[in-house]
Amino acid sequence: MTELIDLRSDTVTQPTPEMRQAMAAAPVGDDVFGEDPTVNQLQETVAEMFGKEAALFVPSGTMGNQVSINAHTQPGDEVICDYNAHIFNYEGGAPALLSGVQLHPLLGRNGVITAEQIEAVIRPADHHFPHTQLIEIENTHNRAGGAIFPLNEMKKIYELARLHKLAVHLDGARIWNASVATGIPLTEYARYADSVSACFSKGLGAPVGSIVVGSRAFIEKAHRYRKVYGGGMRQAGILAAAALYALQHHLDRLAEDHHHARTLAETLAEFEEIQVDLTTVQTNIVIFHVVSERLSAEDFVARCRQAGLLMLAIGGDRVRLVTHLHISDDDVARAIEILTSVLK
């Protein structure tokens, strides 16, 4: 039997044999004592890549976002974000649970909330209101189909934040994809955020791990929350080595994933029963609608699964596919055959 083509997420990748070798060879130490040389190397490397003072290796993107929110806020504060933000939809209500803050979601367009929209909801200094403290943006935007948050809007938001003494956190789980797709350096994206979280376990293909970057003072606070959340890891250099390997070998190749996603989206757009906004297909994610009388999104996903193609139904008539390291030109060709056979 031929292997399944797994487009459910870019988190499904397996470490390659070369990555495993790098992991096995990594010098390690107790990172809770700050003594793991490979973790330290990763933190220094990534801080420099983003042009920030310091970095902190964390087990997941969720923890990266949550230690950042905690470090930027006080209980009772308000955090402005997009309605479709990962922190609002997919982190188990963690901002309320862990930081005691409330989110103020705005309806963005393709995941993009504007400085103008944000300015309109910054709370006046009055004891009736929560205290607006943090703005959170996501780049690339997961629920907006991997759309890129434009740098010029990030800049406007950052300037607004400075004016009102607010902090800006960037959920850059897939910021690598944005940078490769636009050619804009990571340092530019990071310039307009006080903190950035980024994941190694998505398009970069590492098995575990994310990182948070920011000022030294911010990272010290985040470090404390990482410990509090139980995220202090010991000989974590084995994981950091995978991340370092991924940065060296899997970063530039993200362009291939973007090309594959585009090819799949263009094929899907040809079918009457599928609606896909090709303008949002800018990186490695495609979100499309199944608008059919005979097929629900779940039916469509189930039929594709039977034929060997895995995708995710993500609510209503929407389906998501994500390309990654293990998806070859041949896999894309076979995925197109499967999609065509189910849709024709």
* Contacting residue, 5, 101, 113, 199, with ligand TLP by CB under 6 A: 199
In the stretch 222-261, what mask flags binding to ligand TLP with x, by CB under 6 A? ----------------------------------------
Provide the 10 A C-beta neighbour count for residue 273.
16
From 57-65, 129-137, 264-272, 296-304, span contacting ligand TLP (CB under 6 A) = 57-65
Residue 191 structure tokens? 């310039």
- Measured from the CB atom, the residue of 172 and 237 that comes closer to ligand TLP is 172
DSSP annotation of 96 = I
Backbone φ and ψ of 156, nearest 5°:
-60, -40
- Measured from the CB atom, the residue of 88 and 245 that comes closer to ligand TLP is 88
Minimum CB separation from ligand TLP for residue 68, in Å? 11
In the stretch 152-171, what mask flags binding to ligand TLP with x, by CB under 6 A? -------------------x
Give, as ranges, the residues between 15 and 54 that touch ligand TLP (CB under 6 A).
none
220 within 8 A of 43, measured Cβ to Cβ = no
> Contact between 136 and ligand TLP (CB under 6 A)?
no
> Contact between 9 and ligand TLP (CB under 6 A)?
yes
Instruction: Report CA 213 to chain centroid distance, whole Å.
Output: 14
Strand partners, 322: 285
What 3-state class would DSSP assign to 219?
helix
38 within 8 A of 235, measured Cβ to Cβ = no
> Contact between 283 and ligand TLP (CB under 6 A)?
no
Task: Put the strands of the sheet holding 167-172 in their side by side order.
Answer: 54-58, 210-214, 195-199, 167-172, 131-138, 77-82, 102-106
Minimum CB separation from ligand TLP for residue 127, in Å? 34
Residue 280 buriedness (CB in 10 A; 0-12 / 13-18 / 19+):
buried
* Contacting residue, 86, 223, 226, 324, with ligand TLP by CB under 6 A: 86
Give, as ranges, the residues between 89 and 118 that touch ligand TLP (CB under 6 A).
90
* Contacting residue, 22, 26, 56, 173, with ligand TLP by CB under 6 A: 173
Alpha helices (H) in the chain, listed in sequence order: 17-25, 37-50, 61-72, 86-89, 94, 115-121, 151-163, 175-182, 186-191, 216-228, 237-249, 254-269, 297-306, 329-343
From 26-34, 58-66, 115-123, 272-280, span contacting ligand TLP (CB under 6 A) = 58-66
Instruction: Summarize as ranges the residues that interact with ligand TLP (CB under 6 A).
Output: 9, 11, 60-62, 65, 86, 90, 138, 142, 171, 173, 199, 201, 210
